[in-house]
Amino acid sequence: MSLIKPTVILILRTQVRKIWWNFEQNFTLLLSAAALVSLFVYILKDFATSELSKFSPEWMALGLRSSFYLGVFCTSLVIARQVRKILDSQDSFQSILYRIGASSRDVAKIRQALAIVGFAVSISFIYFLSLVFKQEPSVLAYLLASICYLISLAVQIRRNESHVKKYSGTIVDWRRHQLLHRSIPGKGLLRLGVAGAIAVPISAIFIKTATLIQLSSLAVGLVTSFGLVQAIAADLPNSWFEKQGGLTHDQWQKSWQVIANTFALTIATICSFSVVWLTDLPPQELWNIPFLAGFLPWLVPSLALQIDGRSQNLNIIVMVLTGLFLGTAMMATPWVAIALPIIKSQASQYQSGRYFRA
């Protein structure tokens, strides 16, 4: 009998079950996040309106349009990645099919069917994004989504497993090695953060608006923090041997803090140093650039275990909310930067000992 229909249906059911099984927890989290963001928007509505009114309508339209296409690009990549995971991971149905004796042709048809389903989902997201960014779903958007999806699906991700390094054996070196040479998503996000940090001062020459430069620095710090969050989520399941070896919570957190400090300092330095040199804006409008760029990566080790360190999506939401509140507060008043060490200390104390439960 044909394998295609029962296999594709079963795979889709497992994906729905994956979302549904933790639905209560995920829905509660989303609802809480939405409530916090709405509260934030309500409080800062007037401030945001007055700042945004400084931009010309053309700039606003350009910003919305760029965000729309960026959203199309990102959702296509994410969906393609998910489809690849379903098709190629070790626990995929494909490996069972080969063991049971399915022919390569049947397996290829199943892969094609799943790829088509993923493509349809990717395209349908365009409609959703067009509502969010108030754009017409154009031919260009469909083309962009299609090309991104197909290329991402087709490209073989080659893992850098040929790199062999004799690490010194310290807990920091080990983690740095995993982060820089093994973890593809973490590596990608951190590189994006560094690239963004370089882009910020270059774009500052043309933009000449303090608010936008500050927001860009905040965004760069946010992306960098995502990379660290991903790395910690990948690290925790494998740390059982370190726990048995006597690694304490403090040592674990300090090892990640060393790595986070490196990235925070790098991002902050690149963003701030060049901006001061390359713009005509007065320093008092740009004093907070290093803090905005660096504070989120710096805070990651103190926030990672607050809820669930293994859930990178959860911690990404935590970092976004933290960035929204503290970042915009820092744009408004300098006193928030002074409060950062206190916030960090409190967060670290609150999650004390959770390494062993993670």
Residues lying near other proteins in the complex (CB under 8 A) are found at 1, 3, 6-7, 10-11, 13-15, 17-18, 21, 90-93, 95-104
Of the pair 21, 167, the CB lying nearest other proteins is at: 21
Of the pair 98, 356, the CB lying nearest other proteins is at: 98
Min CB(96)–other proteins separation in Å: 7
Q: How far is CA 134 from the centre of its chain?
A: 24
Min CB(95)–other proteins separation in Å: 7
Of the pair 49, 90, the CB lying nearest other proteins is at: 90
Of the pair 3, 171, the CB lying nearest other proteins is at: 3
State how far the Cα of 65 lies from the Cα of 29, in Å rounded to an integer. Answer: 29
DSSP 182-246: T-HHHHHHHHHHHHHHHHHHHHHHHH--HHHHHHHHHHHHHHHHHHHHHHHHHHGGGTHHHHHTT
Of the pair 103, 345, the CB lying nearest other proteins is at: 103
Could you identify the residue written with the tokens 């507060």? 329
Of the pair 10, 116, the CB lying nearest other proteins is at: 10
State how far the Cα of 225 lies from the Cα of 312, in Å rounded to an integer. Answer: 11
CA dihedral 122, 127, 130, 131 (to 10 degrees): -130
Min CB(318)–other proteins separation in Å: 23
Nearest to 333 by CA among 234, 214, 251, 238: 214
- The answer to whether residues 84 and 153 touch, using CB atoms and an 8 Å cutoff, is yes
SS3 62: helix
- How many C-beta atoms lie closer than 10 Å to residue 349's C-beta? 9
State how far the Cα of 239 lies from the Cα of 236, in Å rounded to an integer. Answer: 5
Of the pair 102, 324, the CB lying nearest other proteins is at: 102
Min CB(162)–other proteins separation in Å: 11
Min CB(85)–other proteins separation in Å: 11
Min CB(284)–other proteins separation in Å: 54
Min CB(100)–other proteins separation in Å: 6
